[in-house]
A and B are shown apart, each in its own frame.
Chain A
Amino acid sequence: MMIRELVKTKLRLLYLEGGERMSRHLARSIFSVVTFAIFAYLTYTVIEFATRYLVVQARIGLFLYHRLLALALFVFFAIISIANILVAFVTVFRNTEAEFLHTLPIRPVEIFTSKFLDSFLYSSALMIILILAAIAGYAGYFGNPLVAGLGVIFSILPLILSAACVGAIVLLLVLKISHRISIRTAVLGVTLLYAGSTYSYVMLNNPFKLFNDVMKYYPHIDRYLGVLDPKLDYLAPSFWSANFFYFATTGNVVGAAASALIVCAVAASLFFVMIKLADKYYEEAFWTARHKLFERKVKYLEDPFAQEGQKLGKQVSLLKRDFLLFIREPSQTFHFGVLMILIGIFLLNLFEMRIYLPDTFIVSSAFTLIYAFNSFLVVSLAVRFVYPMLSLEGETMWLMRSSPVRLRNVFYAKLVPSIIFLTVVGAILGFAAPYPFRNFHGLIPNSVAYGLAGGIIFPSLVTIFGGAFVDFKEKNAVRISSSHGATVSLLVSIGVMVILSSVVFNQTIGYFSSKGTIPVDLSGAWILGLVGLACFYLARFFGVRALKTDM
């Protein structure tokens, strides 16, 4: 079977990745391993602490705890699935290697399978590490490493595979129907489908409503209260994945085995369906994708001389170039659109949500969680869209380096607009974050200040790594933002996010204890400004240095 040779070559390439300069490669590897290890340990500690807090102090019961786990796993499922649509599109359809393989006498389904595994490993590596550390934290509290080990093999890995398969199936179907409807309409449909299903799932499983429902059964809140589950939840593999952990932890071996069987069966079925669909449609979908690509090349555009009169300065020209390159790349605009829709939904929810909890600690934790999620959205935008900017310059480095352009200005044209955009997003999210709470008005200045700071710190931080791990050979933004360096930048950003969240928690707990009578201390805001400035200057140092790298 040629698939064996394909996979063998891919694995070898994976092992050889980035070995061009040993010293640099070694430094990067050590840094990456250390970052991964620290992050994994942090995740372990946070999950272990959160589990202990929720089960022992907050006493939410094992059932509700595992329903929260199901909710988190559903979000992971959606994220992996969306990431796989994007990575699979550029890896399986619009990729020079896929083109090369198509010229060889290989069955299309074998090309698809090898490229699917390639994109799966590429886009899911971080999620796998993150989930493994989280499961270790879970096992750390419950003291059942066997459950964790079995859970990873029979519940988590099949869940991740299912998510990737769903992404690939959706992509194949989109390309299949894009014969009849335009690809834009198909992409819009998929975006709405994902946003709609995530929104519906979260609404259907509203944790606050579930909390109230479960508490009606107090003190029997560790019991399996399946009667409270919406029937639609049965369709989500993440539900069964969480059920496995519930049953395994409560000693119900049959329940755990049945749940694991369902998760594995779903993964196997989805993989089978995906391969069958690929066997039937991949070749055609590949041709469709290529046709669309060529169609764009020959499409009639406006009169090129209409722009002749425009007299743009160097800086504006650089900005215009980057803007046009961004909006004309479908994989960029699609992901950007999805993230913007998610942020929109989240904002609407914040304005409508009301959290009236008696415990000051829980209220502060809830506010900090919202702040952390806000920051995570900004970090996601930064890693996905800001991180690749320096590497993408590789295609035109010959031009930039041979033109009378200051490389510092090329760098500013990339980072400054990103910072402006992300500070606006951060400020809006910061403004909305306090709305669900009583006496929220007093929190707004603090929340907006932190949102603004995040908008400067996070894009600068990822640019530091974008410069340090720059890869001028990779031309695809999605692959760059899923690379090793991008993962490290994400982890470091999340680390900073955790530190900022703990500061926010400390500042707001006093405010909530005093029922809003003592204002939030904003005197330390200048430190945030300094951190932002330091990150910006470091980003400039690494960014300009990357642009000066020998080609």
Chain B
Amino acid sequence: MLELTSLTKKFGSFTAVDDISMKVEPGDIYGFLGPNGAGKTTTIKMIATLLKPTSGRVVINGIDAHVAPEKAKRFLSYVPDQPFLYEKLSGMEFLLFVSKMYRMNGEETTGSIREVSEIFEVTPWLSRRIEDYSQGMRQRLVLAAAMLHAPKLIVIDEPMVGLDPKGAETFKEQVRLAAGNGTAIFMTTHQLSLARDVCTRVGIIKSSKLVYESSMEQLSGDGVEELERKYLELTS
């Protein structure tokens, strides 16, 4: 579903992402881990077509995302770490707007909005303006918008920002459910416990290079200790 081939991004003499190759298959939940400044967000921005790679390719569902971005983005949902929301629109208006951008038809839209807003428990807030939402409520709305068009690939930068324990649990459930339905999920996180709870595979990036990749099954014990040990060993 997502394939990165020798993905490199340079800013002058500085290499932010260096020759990263990886595949995320349908149903995979890929945890992209690494210290601050390692190149996670730059990689994610190239996947979301917000930055153009210096070399290499990003392929989404068989489509080169930088050759045919509009086509590729039909299968993608991107949730940034600081998502943009129209403060003056209501939650409902925002979801309707997003659905139109994905060319969803009327019936499909109503059903989907009802479903995702109930899942993320934003229904009572839908008629309020977004400027009245708390940070957690905003994150719920953004996640609901991301799930709205049943994407084949969801790319999430730090998904747990602002979520309360209930919201975090809902997120995990939904991610597992979406993956169970064949959606590929690529997310960055600093929470190793989240990676343990939901990811099927993890990769660690350090100083712009992918230095480690493993499936969770390959990690010994409950996974998190091994992952923590590996992470500290590779990034310290």
Binding site for B on A (CB under 8 A): 2, 5, 9, 12-13, 16-17, 19-20, 96-97, 99-108, 283-284, 287, 290-291, 294-295, 297-300, 473
Contacts and interface: CB of A to CB of B under 8 A. Distances in A.
A103 B51 contact: no
Contacts of B207: none
A269 B87 CA distance: 36
12 contacts: A12-B93, A100-B84, A102-B50, A103-B49, A103-B73, A104-B101, A105-B102, A290-B45, A291-B11, A294-B11, A298-B11, A299-B14
B90 to A, nearest CB: 10
Contact of A103 (B14, B16, B76, B100): B76
Given A5-B101, A291-B11, A295-B12, A103 B88 contact: no
Given A2-B101, A290-B45, A295-B12, 9 more contacts: A17-B88, A20-B131, A102-B49, A103-B80, A104-B73, A105-B102, A283-B69, A290-B51, A298-B16
Contacts of A287: 51-52
Contacts of B86: 9, 13, 97
B102 A298 contact: no
Contact of B70 (A99, A105, A294, A300): A105
Interface in B1-46: 11-12, 14, 16, 42, 45
Interface in B52-75: 52, 69-74
A297 B11 CA distance: 9
Contacts of B52: 284, 287, 291
B94 to A, nearest CB: 9
Contacts of B50: 99, 102-103, 290
Nearest to A95: B84
A107 B71 CA distance: 9
Contact of B101 (A106, A294, A299): A106
B198 interface: no
Contacts of B78: 103
A357 to B, nearest CB: 55
Interface string B139-157: 0000000000000000000
B97 interface: yes
B98 interface: yes
A120 to B, nearest CB: 19
A106 B103 CA distance: 10
A527 to B, nearest CB: 44
4 shortest A-B CB distances, which residue pairs? A100-B84, A105-B73, A16-B88, A287-B52
Nearest to B51: A290
Interface string B154-186: 000000000000000000000000000000000
Contacts of A284: 52
Interface string B98-135: 10111100000000000000000000000000010000
A300 B12 CA distance: 10
B83 interface: yes
Given A5-B101, A103-B76, A290-B50, A19 B70 contact: no
Tell me the dominant secondary structure on chain A's binding face.
helix
Given A13-B89, A96-B84, A105 B71 contact: yes
A484 to B, nearest CB: 14
B48 interface: yes
A9 B14 contact: no
B51 A291 contact: yes
Nearest to B42: A294
Contacts of B131: 20
A445 B84 CA distance: 54
B51 A13 contact: no
Nearest to B86: A13
A103 B48 contact: yes
B11 A473 contact: no
Contact of B89 (A12, A99, A107, A291): A12
B39 to A, nearest CB: 10
A12 B89 CA distance: 8
Contacts of A291: 11, 51-52
Interface string B194-216: 00000000000000000000000
Given A105-B71, A291-B11, A100 B83 contact: yes
A12 B88 CA distance: 9
A104 B98 contact: yes
B188 to A, nearest CB: 15
A118 to B, nearest CB: 12
A2 B117 CA distance: 24
Nearest to B132: A20
B100 A5 contact: yes
Contact of A104 (B45, B80, B102): B102
B104 to A, nearest CB: 11
B84 A9 contact: no
A236 B181 CA distance: 61
Contacts of B98: 104
Nearest to A107: B70
A284 B101 CA distance: 21
A20 B42 CA distance: 35
Contacts of A299: 11-12, 14
A99 to B, nearest CB: 6
